[in-house]
Amino acid sequence: MLSKEQRRAFYKSRAWQSVRLLALERDNFECQACKKNGDLFIQQDEATKQKHKRLDVDHIKELEQFPELGLELENLITLCVKCHNKKHQRFIKKSNKWAHDENW
């Protein structure tokens, strides 16, 4: 299991930056989950590609459990931020159980 500091160092490494770019290029800078669902999210410009604000490269087998696969291209997939957050169940709105209740 990797510590928070080890993960941070991994994601800042030249090796990660290099394999990340290879994954983005292999996936044509397209979210593979959107593409599979018939939608298409494409990174629009070179500046955004460099800033990597709209696309993430995700580990299919999670880095924390499989650190030995961290730099394996076959273990990486390009996802838009929305699909990446959905996969990891982040920032999901919780339903209000009282939303349909009568207001007094």
d(CA 58, CA 75): 8
| Residue at 104 is within a domain | no
| Residue at 103 is within a domain | no
| Residue at 58 is within a domain | yes
| Segment 74-100, tens digit of pLDDT | 999 999 998 988 887 776 566 666 666
d(CA 33, CA 25): 16
| Residue at 92 is within a domain | no
| Residue at 15 is within a domain | yes
| Number of domains present in the structure of the chain | 1
| Residue at 101 is within a domain | no
Domain that holds residue 8: 4-87
Q: E strands along 46-98, which residues?
A: 55-59, 76-80
- The pTM assigned to this predicted structure is 0.72
Cβ atoms of 84 and 55 within 8 Å: the answer is no
d(CA 71, CA 10): 10
d(CA 96, CA 104): 17
pLDDT mean across residues, the chain: 83
| Residue at 80 is within a domain | yes
d(CA 89, CA 95): 14
| Residue at 102 is within a domain | no
**What average pLDDT score do residues 12-38 get?**
94
